[in-house]
Structure 1
Amino acid sequence: MSPQLPQFKDIQLWETACTHRSYFNEHPEVQEDNERLEFLGDAVLGFLVGKLLYQKYPQMREGELSRLRSRLVNNEHQLAEFALSLNLDQHLRLGKGAEKEGTRQNPDVLSDTLEAVIGAYFLDAGIEAVEQFIEPLFSAIAEQVTATSELDQNYKGQLQEWALAYCGLIPRYSIRQETGADHAKEFTVEVRIGSEVYGVGVGESKKTAEKRAAKAALEAQNAAGGKN
């Protein structure tokens, strides 16, 4: 199901959230543009995405969570994509000059407007309603980012910390399979804690395969509740 813009009880808040300063400057009857709401929405968004990632990725350390949050919240093009998926560009109120300049498709403006809508919705309906609105958007993209990027994560270090804490053992890695020609090798590595296999990874190098095996082990433990 495609994402939907929230329904506002206070229509004035919604209209202000969609009001670019160019429209405000050309319409003296309008009391405010959306820049103050953008400021508020940025703060609310940072908090809620931080909470989402904290709960979704219990194995991630502080630095990794910060990098992932930055990729999601401080990426103006990502926010602009969200805005377009919500058809927010169609609701944006622009001045005539800004309209001619193509501002309706400007990624910076779209991302700012989405933040303003989040700020306005926070004032209109509260933090829990905003959380329900943004969670599907950011949860899905977080999964994509973590699936396609290592985020500089030290998966082997994390797994060793977990294994020592809960099992009193150090993980051991071994090659299960090695295939391909010399110039295109593919390694399958398994990681054991004690006698049990906790994860398997495949990669173009032993190091990459070990890292992916550690990641698989961590994800399995996360799904199982974090403890044996």
Structure 2
Amino acid sequence: MNKARKEQLERFTELLHLHPFSDWRLLDQALTHSSYTNEDKTHHSLHNERLEFLGDAVLDMVVGEYLYRRYPDMPEGKLTRARASVVSEEPLACACAAFHMGDYLLLGRGEVRTGGRTRNSIMADAFEAVVGAIYMDASYSAAREFILTQLDKYLQLVDKGVYGKDYKTYFQELLQRDGTQDIHYHLCHEEGPDHNKTFFMEVVVNGVTMGTGSGKTKKSAEQHAAYAALEKMDALSF
């Protein structure tokens, strides 16, 4: 690992308030996509798929344990749906976007050109790989702290009974409690080349813009707009 990469990884841990790694190669591996190792055989780098496998198991355990203790009367079926809502691709990718994980990923040139640094599937896999790296380098406790901190807002949604639903559905159900509302999503504009567009959407209720959001797909942008509207309504906090 060269000096520039080591400094980049140190900035990443400082950004997330993580303890310095004992073995920086683990974090380097967690932030290396298979496309990078497939394109550049000279670096002999390990990609993050094995750590992703491990991190996925740790993630399920941490969130499952948290929900089990938090909701002693919740039946198994609801616990399963609640856990799935927290550890699914969208929450993991959104957590990564909040601290710009894509900036620290080693990706193949093809993935970079096609928007891999913001692709939900790549971000979610990297999140799981980082969990695996923290677990291997430090402890289950350290991995647990990272997970619960990064996914706190999604765990709060479970407290409100919002699981197994997306933000658009929750937003609509919340507003319809007061009767029929005119809710629609409008594309404001889009940026970027055809292979790597970013869409900007707004959610409009009875002619009033309630929230705006962006994403690599229109559906993702709509979800972010609904989330922004829920935040504006203070419907996501205690």
Tell me what 2:224 maps to. Answer: none
CA RMSD of aligned residues (A): 2.1
- Give yes or no for the alignment of 1:48 onto 2:57: no
- Give yes or no for the alignment of 1:33 onto 2:14: no
Please identify runs of 4+ aligned residues in structure 1 that moved more than 6 A: none
Counterpart among 76, 82, 92 of residue 95 in structure 2: 82
Counterpart among 21, 24, 31 of residue 11 in structure 1: 24
Question: In 1, Cα distance between the equivalents of 2:114 and 2:33?
Answer: 14
Unpaired segments of 5 or more residues in structure 2?
1-14, 166-177, 180-238
**Structure 1 residues 22 and 151: CA distance shift in structure 2, 3 A:** closer
Deviation at 1:23, TM superposition (A): 0.6
**Conserved 8 A contact 1:5-1:86:** no
**Structure 1 residues 150 and 107: CA distance shift in structure 2, 3 A:** closer
Q: Pairwise mapping of residues 78-117 of structure 1 onto structure 2 (< 5 A)?
A: 78-117=91-130
Tell me what 2:137 maps to. Answer: 124
Deviation at 1:148, TM superposition (A): 5.4
Deviation at 1:30, TM superposition (A): 2.5
- Summarize deviations over 1:19-63 as a string: whole Å, max 9, x none: 001111122222311011100100010001101111112221111
Question: In 2, Cα distance between the equivalents of 1:150 and 1:130?
Answer: 23
Question: In 1, Cα distance between the equivalents of 2:164 and 2:37?
Answer: 41
- Summarize deviations over 1:162-204 as a string: whole Å, max 9, x none: xxxxxxxxxxxxxxxxxxxxx96xxxxxxxxxxxxxxxxxxxx
**Conserved 8 A contact 2:157-2:163:** no
**Conserved 8 A contact 1:8-1:124:** yes
Fraction of identical pairs, as percent: 37
2:94 alignment partner AA: E
Matched pairs, number: 151
- Summarize deviations over 1:131-188 as a string: whole Å, max 9, x none: 1111123343122244153769xxxxxxxxxxxxxxxxxxxxxxxxxxxxxx96xxxx
Q: Pairwise mapping of residues 185-200 of structure 1 onto structure 2 (< 5 A)?
A: none
**Conserved 8 A contact 2:85-2:163:** no
1:99 alignment partner AA: V
Q: Pairwise mapping of residues 140-219 of structure 1 onto structure 2 (< 5 A)?
A: 140-147=153-160, 149=162
**Structure 1 residues 150 and 90: CA distance shift in structure 2, 3 A:** closer
Question: In 2, Cα distance between the equivalents of 1:5 and 1:50?
Answer: 24
